[in-house]
Structure 1
């Protein structure tokens, strides 16, 4: 059965359920973001010190329908006037992904709308397009989250070249593991950043991994080990703050060095930083200073759109729909693993 056709300028509903946030949004190409809602599961998982997949899936089921109703009401867009339904197809927790995919497929079928599977990391790197000040293609994107650390040359929607990635822990994972070593509560990354604000970042000398050799790949597991071996030197609360600040300095220095190399290698003059760690204030400060020094333009999504959200899914779905067909053919598609390099530009309808 051929895909039903709707004018691409019609708004797109986006649904995000890849991990521990349930989120929905409506995006319109002319009017921008019309509404967005998010429910965080942080309190649900805090007791366990991390995300419990089964609990995440059940909570998505409990929340998703009401969030969809809310964003449609707030946007003023009747469901029948949507141009498509976008959902996070991967990567992510498969049970969580299936909740959003099932709801999206049901809506699309009932309303005879296109169903648009969205790559989670593509949505992150396009998130700055939701802002008034936005980048133009091409640009370098640094994607930094709990599960990913990537440097990507972005030439257009779906036209990506992987420049570098973490060979072990993602940067967000390194933050979380280090926070756990320091006895900080879940979620560890933001707690470590808060503790670091009170510390001396030059006290402990941690390595800037893989910056003493060519290339754009990352490695952060050794930093966690360095923190572990340094812990006996930090028995007091003030010492722990210094340790947290020193760790954060090592991470943000490493990211800044690699970003500069990526810009030099590509010749691009714009850098996009997205993903949960993109909310880190020290990283923003350090890259801002580097941008002034080196003369490139720097773009971040607003803080609320650094972490997982429905707005970025709605925008990515709209962009895919406006420029061509959906990412994958077929009525429903989800996958827990989906390399960004497998994406291709939309094919004209």
Structure 2
């Protein structure tokens, strides 16, 4: 709740006055507290009404075009979905599966992964046609809040991307149903939980402009990632078609470099009146953080050789004068396998989408 209120304040164009108002309110509470418990209770009783007023003031800044779209009236509906998702994948699901055999979801996952590929291709096309290949400069591209068909098309594409974040929650649900609960890590669940919230604000207040470049780029990466997952789910006979997997980490490093550079240019622009710049800073920070995580992964995976093939690892160990070879185990039958950091369960692992998922062979 505190984070939401803070973001509301930062997104307000007159946030300096609002911060002053909140500060004076806090001082008032302290003053009242010194005067006695009765006046303190009275002041606290007025707090909900003040929050409601702030919330109403904040919603006046929202994009009216998206108000009646599914899930966009308020953040309550998506909050309930996210809570249900977290509860199922961390508590209810593992409890229900405890004494059951894992579900065989091979065919389901093939269809699911190829569906994500198709959906991602469609969103790439819509992003290009509504701006990125049709008028955007890749510089200071502002949000068009008009009812122009092209502007509305861009806003709707942003909503589609937002909605796709709920579909991708199935990644985790499949883990639970297949009893791969070791892959349901904190970072994985946090990523799938926070993305809908981040994009709700984006669609609600800034559906378009330069803040959507990373979404289009991420859709391109998803086409490759979910294609890999789909082919993996089809079985060992299709592994020969996955020769390009060794390039995936490089592709994702390039992705985050491009996102960071594109958003970073906003800092040096002297005249770019983007209405809600805080959203650009969030995107930039997100890209920078995962760029660092990817570089760390690259270092441990390839420079230190922790995820090299066994032959290469053995050769590297002998070159270092170490007669003992510690090879990394490869977990089997874990399509859409997701791990983090430098876990020793993954050989030739690579990261997925926004930098959260590592892939098992």
TM bucket (normalised to shorter chain) is under 0.3
TM-score by length of 1: 0.25
Higher relative contact order (CA 8 A, sep 6+): 1
- Kindly indicate which of the two structures has a greater share of residues assigned to strand: 1
Higher helix proportion (structure 1 or 2)? 2
Structure whose CA Rg is larger: 2
Q: TM-score, normalised by structure 2?
A: 0.25
